[in-house]
Chains A and B, each alone.
Chain A
Amino acid sequence: MKLFRYIIKLCKWARGALVFALLVAFSLYMLFIQVKQKQNVADFLLSSIFYLPQSITSYVLRIGNLSEENIMLKKENGKLKLEVDLIKEYAIENERLKKLLLFENQWDYPIFLTQIIGHNPGTYMTTVVVNSGETDSIFYGMPVFTTNGLVGKVSKVFSKHSMVQLLSDPNSRTSVISQRSRVLGTLFSKDNGEMQVQVSSYADLVPGDTLVTSGLGGIYPKGIPVGVVSKLEKNNSEVLSYGDIQLLQHIESLEEVFVIRKNMDWIVWSEE
C-alpha cells in the first residue's frame, strides 16, 4: 500500500517528465513507421483533432478566393456576353441572307448582293453608298431592291463603290402599276420625304392597293413590289389625283441590297 502511494506521489511529481517521455516516444513512433501508415495517421488527425482548424482554414481560404473568383467570372461573363451577342447577330444575318438567296432565284437577270456603307447627310435619306463598283460590273441605271421591295437605282459608279438614288429622292420619278387594277401612275417623293403616287382622277385605285414597277421607262423590270396606297384624295374636278404611299422597304433600315445586272433598255436621260 505504501509502495502504491509512493508511486502515485512520484507520478505527480514527475508527471511532466512522464508525459514528455510519452509524447517523445509517440513522435519517434510516427517518425519511424511506414509512409502508408503515416498517411493514415495524418488523415486520422485531420479528420479528428485538427478537424476544426482544418475547416476554419478551408473556409477562410475559400472566402479569400471568392473575390478573385468573382473578378475572373465577371471577365468570363463579359466575354461570353460578347460571344452571345455576336452569335445573335450572325443568326439574324444568316436568316436575312437565306431569304436573299431564295429571292435571288426569282429573277431572269443576274443579281448581285452588295452592302450599304454610307448615306447622304441630312434629315431625309435620298442617296446611299454601296461597296460595289465598276470592278464588280455595276453600271449606271441598274435597279436596286431588297426582298421587301424596290429601293432605287444606281446613279453614280466608281471603281470600288457606287451611289444609289433612292425612291425617296425628290428628283426621282418611277412608273408604277396597280397590282389589282393595272392602273398606271407615277411615284415621286415630296420635299418632306413622304412618298406619293400621281394617277388619273378616274383611275380605279383604292387605299390598300399594292403598286409594282410597270416596266416602262427602261430602267426597272416589270413586277418589283414598291409600296401600298395608304391614303387617296380624289377630286373629280381635277385631272390628276394624288395618293400617299407606304413603301414596302423602309429606307432607314437598309443593310444589304440587290443590284440587278440589267442594262437600261434605252436611255431617256442621263447625268453623264
Chain B
Amino acid sequence: MRRYRIRKDESCILCLRCSRECSFGAIEVKDGKALLFNHEKCTDCQRCVTFCPTGAIYITEDENRFRENSVFKDDDIKEIILQAKTKGVLLSSMGAQGKNIPIYFDKILLNASQVTNPSIDPLREPMETSVFIGARPAKIERDANGKIVDNLPPHLELKTPIMFSAMSYGAISLNVHKALASASEALGTYWNTGEGGLHESLYKYKRNTIVQVASGRFGVHETYLNTAEAIEIKIGQGAKPGIGGHLTGKKIVGDVSKTRMVPEGLDAISPAPHHDIYSIEDLAQLVMSIKEATHFRKAVIVKVAAVHNIAPIASGIARSGADIIAIDGYRGGTGAAPKRIRDNVGIPIELAIASVDERLREEKIRDRVSIVASGGIRNSADVFKAIALGADAVSIGTAALCALGCHICASCHTGKCAWGIATQDPKLMERLDPEKGAEHLVNLVSAWTSEIKEIMGGMGINSIEALRGNKMALRGVDMNEKELEILGIKYAGE
C-alpha cells in the first residue's frame, strides 16, 4: 500500500546515509551511487529525514489519491483492496485513530486562583507531588498504649503521579526496558514489565518494578513475582479490549524466546481470556494466589480496558481483593492489534475515570483501591485533568516511547522499528542508547512534574493528593449535558 512519497532535492550529496538508516527497505542504493525509492515500503517514520546531513530528503503523503468520495475515503479503499488480496485481518499498532471520537482532555479547562484565594509560587513554596497508591485502611487504629497500629496494606510510593505503562519485552527491545527501569529508579516511580517476562539483567531494579501476569503467563514464576513491588494482572488493554496479545514470530528471537518460553520465530499468542477467570470470584482467586506467592507483601493491580460497563467492572475488581485498578482508555497504544478493534472498541479514558471514581464513592469503597489511568496521556495537563477527574496516578506509554525517539509510525508489528524501540534486530536495537534514553525519560517526567507544580500553585493547592477527584477544578466546553454529567463537571462560566 503506497501512502507516502519519498523525494530528495539537489542538496543531496549521495552520502547514502538515508539508505543505511531505513530499516523498511524503502530507500535502496543502485549501482553503489544512486538512490532508489520504494515508496510503498515507506512508513513515514522520519528516520532518514532526521539523519540526512543536508536536509535533502522529504516524505510527504502521496498526492495520488483515489477519486474523492464523501463515504469511501482513500484509506477505506486501500484497505479493501489489501483484504481482497490477502484474506487477512488488518493488523496495526500504537493507539486508536478514530477521527470522530473526541479527546475530552482538550474540552476541559483548569481553574486558577484570583484575588480571593491566593496562588502559591512553586519556586518558593514546597509542593508535594508524591502519591501513595494501594488500599487504604478504613480507619486509624491505636493499641492500648495509644500507639498507631501499623497495619497498612502493601502500597506503592510515587514521587510523581506518573508511571510508565506496561510494554512487554519482545514487543519492545531490552534497551527500552533498561531505559524505563533506570529512569524509574532515578524518578522514584515505577515501570511495568508488560506480559513478556523480565530479563534477568533488570532484577536489580526490583524496587521500581511492576511485573505483569497476563493470560499467556509468559515469564511468570515465583522469582518473577517477588522481583517487583507490585504485580499487575492484565485482563485487557485499551488498544484491544476483549482480545489477547499477538507477538509476531520475527520478534521472538534469543532471550525473548527464552524469557517467554515460546519457540523462536513462531508467532506467540496470549489468549483472549485468562482461562481460569470466568467471574469476579475467579479473579479474587488469582489475586489471592498471587498474594500467597508473594507473602502478602506486594500490592496487586488489576488492569482492564475502559469499556461500556467499566464502573460495575471496577466495583467488582475492588471487591476481589486487588489493591489498585489500572484502567486503560480507548486511545491506549499497543505493539500489535487488529485495526478494527483498536479503532472501534472501548471508551475514552476521561469518561471511564469519572464514572469509576463516582461509582466507587457511591458504594463507599473508593478507599479500598487506587485508580491508575492510562491511554493517550500526552502532557502534564492531561495528567492533571485525569487526577482531577478521579485518578490517583497515571501511566504513560506512547509519550515515554516518543521521548526515546518514537515517531508513532505505527509499524511496531513489523519488528523493523528504525528507532530501535519496537524491534529485536540487534543492529536496530543498537540505535537506542539506554543511558541516553533514561536521561530523556527523566527529563520528560521531571518537566511534567514541574509543570504540574506550577498548575497546582496557580490553583492554590500544595499537594497533588488534594486534587484527586476535585472536579470543581475543572470546567468543560463544547460538550453536551450528558457528557458533563458523566464527567461530573460544570460548563465553563457556570
Partners in one complex: no
Residues in B lying within 8 Å of A, measured CB to CB: none
